[in-house]
Structure 1
Amino acid sequence: MVKVDLITGFLGSGKTTFIKKYARYLMEQGQNIGILENDFGAINVDMMLLRELEGENCELEMVAGGCDKDCYRRRFKTKLIAMGMCGYDRVLIEPSGIFDVDDFFDALHEEPLDRWYQIGNVITVVDASLEKTLSKEADYVLASEVANAGCVLLSKTQDASAEEIRQTVAHLNRALQEIHCSRVLKDEVICKDWEDFTEKEFKKILESGYLVEDYEKLYVDQDEIFQTLFFMDEKIAVSKAKHAAKKIFADPACGGVLRVKGFLQDGKNWLELNATQHETTLKPIGVGQDVLIVIGEKLNEEKIRYYLE
């Protein structure tokens, strides 16, 4: 049977970066893998970032969003049926920033998927410098993803202090308590710079599995909690984009901004922009598209556009 790993994580946590490292490790072990991207945005930036993995041992697929929940579930199941005939050893699924893990479990226990697939691991990626103040709805999303994870992988630990990491784990445990989940995170939290990962860390991830925890379910409408604003063909200079990102995060009038990401053209070269409250990074990328995406809660498009102009 084909093993399936679900990689969840809060918006901007670093899921795509982890998948790139994890996928390369699996391919080095001789595995043929498929990566299924689930994205509700008009432009799937993460899909573009994973293109470099495509080759003889790795294929990329995407489930298009922009529809109601039942329609999305049908598309998700149909895509997995098609992928079940491709001869993969393992499939990695990266959902959108908001995802009900129960939908994942339910789908894989339905025919014919239950004859082809076996749930491997549920891995949740969390920024080691997690925002201290999140809305009740955002905390619920975070806790519901962590509740079933076999391992919780902290990202950007090299940029976080020991106290920030301690506070992040404490925040996760408080969020679990808020949804009346009895789980308390301990040894399942992996806290190490990803660049220093060895066989030991990857083996722990591969053997982490998943949990089925009881907790209080809330109805979450992703469109009411998180917004995604697209700014296309703005031709923003690199220096201006970095400055604008800092201003956007610093100005409460812009809303609860969680992440700014996208691509910028610097002469003939493309750069990937990834900005959070704590840092802004620019990395070369082979192919891009002139777009900046702002993700957050109760966003003020007019105010954000002011800083980008």
Structure 2
Amino acid sequence: MVKIDLITGFLGSGKTTFLRKYASYLITQGQNIGILENDFGAVNVDMMLLGDLRGDNCELEMISGGCDADTHRRRFKTKLISMGMCGYDRVIVEPSGIYDVDEFFDTLHEEPLDGWYEIGNVITVLDSNLEENLPESAEFLLASQAADAGCIVLSKTQETTEEEQKKAVYHLNRALKNIGCKRQFEEVFSKDWEQMTDEDFRQIVSCGYRMENYRKPDLTQEETFQSLYFMNMHMTEERLQEVTQKLFLDKSCGKVFRIKGFMKNENEQWIELNATKNNLVVSPIGMGQEVIIVIGEQLSEDAIRSCLEEKQGEKNIFHTQE
């Protein structure tokens, strides 16, 4: 049977960065792996960030396209059926940061996948700089994505103190308790990823998973996450950072939780944007696709577009979040 791993975590936690390191280790061990980028959106940005992993021992696949949940689940199953015929030793699934992990387990218990795949590891990436005040829908996703994990891996530990890292774990445990899950994490992997050894990876590769019960909240349509896509945005790098910070603050845009994407800067060089309210990174990248993706709740496409298209130097009064 093919081993299948899930690498999950809430928006902006650093899943793709960790996946690169995890997959690279497996490749050096001679494993033939397939990576499935499983997103709800019309453009799969993370797929582009993994392109250099493709080779004789690694193939990349993706599911994308702004479809409803049932259609997305059917596409997930169909893709896993086709990947099950490719002779992989292991398949790694990286979903969206707003993914309901029940889809992963439910789909793998359906025929014929239940006879082809064996669930290996569920690895949850937890942002050590986790925002303290999250709405109910985000708290649920944070907890549910960790409830069944064999291992919690803290991200961005080189940027945070030990006290901040403990606070993030405490927040996770509080969120688990709030959804009726009895599980609490006392130990997590908190080492700087740049310092990880083969022994560290061997421990993570054998972490497994567990099944826990928890309560799902009854959320309204307004309390669920959505993604908006803005193509062919052109601005300077300085302006991009300014507008990104504004989107998080301007409540007329909605409750923005993450912004990511690619664009060309004023020097016609590709840059990658990856931002949460507490962390904004703009970095050079070899290639990309001109798209800015805004993820959040109760988003206003018109207000966001107005901010993105506003010219530098124009005055635009906005209302800060309370």
- Whether TM exceeds 0.5 here: the answer is yes
5 Å matches for 1:139-288?
139-187=139-187, 189-219=188-218, 224-266=223-265, 267-288=267-288
Residue 239 of structure 1, CA deviation: 1.3
- Superposed CA RMSD in Å reads 1.8
Residue 137 of structure 1, CA deviation: 1.4
Q: TM-score scaled by structure 1?
A: 0.94
**Hey, what's the Cα distance between the residues in 1 that align with 2:63 and 2:177?**
33
Q: Secondary structure at the match of 2:283?
A: strand
AA of the residue aligned to 1:257: V
**Hey, what's the Cα distance between the residues in 2 that align with 1:237 and 1:124?**
35
AA of the residue aligned to 1:140: F
**Hey, what's the Cα distance between the residues in 1 that align with 2:300 and 2:47?**
27
Residue 193 of structure 1, CA deviation: 1.3
* Per-residue CA distance 1:250-276 (angstroms, 9 max, x = gap): 334433221111112133421111112
Q: Secondary structure at the match of 2:70?
A: helix
* Per-residue CA distance 1:157-196 (angstroms, 9 max, x = gap): 1111222211111111111111111101112x11121111
Distance change in 2, residues 1:65/1:305 (3 Å): closer
Q: Where does residue 80 of structure 1 map in the other structure?
A: 80
Identity fraction in percent? 59
5 Å matches for 1:104-115?
104-115=104-115
Q: Secondary structure at the match of 1:190?
A: coil
* Per-residue CA distance 1:52-101 (angstroms, 9 max, x = gap): 21111111111234333332222211111110111111100011222232
Q: Secondary structure at the match of 2:125?
A: strand
Matched, 1:38 2:44: no
AA of the residue aligned to 1:249: F
Contact 1:98/1:222 (8 A) holds in 2: no
**Hey, what's the Cα distance between the residues in 1 that align with 2:232 and 2:144?**
36
AA of the residue aligned to 1:237: T
**Hey, what's the Cα distance between the residues in 2 that align with 1:191 and 1:107?**
31
Q: Which runs of 5+ in 2 are unaligned?
A: 311-322
Aligned length: 308
Contact 1:238/1:264 (8 A) holds in 2: no
AA of the residue aligned to 1:30: G
| Stretch moving more, 214-223 or 92-101 | 214-223
Q: Where does residue 50 of structure 1 map in the other structure?
A: 50
Q: Secondary structure at the match of 1:3?
A: strand
* Per-residue CA distance 1:16-59 (angstroms, 9 max, x = gap): 11111111111011111101111111111111111121111111
Contact 2:40/2:72 (8 A) holds in 1: no
| Stretch moving more, 219-228 or 116-125 | 219-228
Contact 2:43/2:65 (8 A) holds in 1: no
Q: Which runs of 5+ in 1 are unaligned?
A: none
Q: Where does residue 23 of structure 2 map in the other structure?
A: 23
Q: Where does residue 130 of structure 2 map in the other structure?
A: 130
AA of the residue aligned to 1:255: G
Distance change in 2, residues 1:261/1:140 (3 Å): same
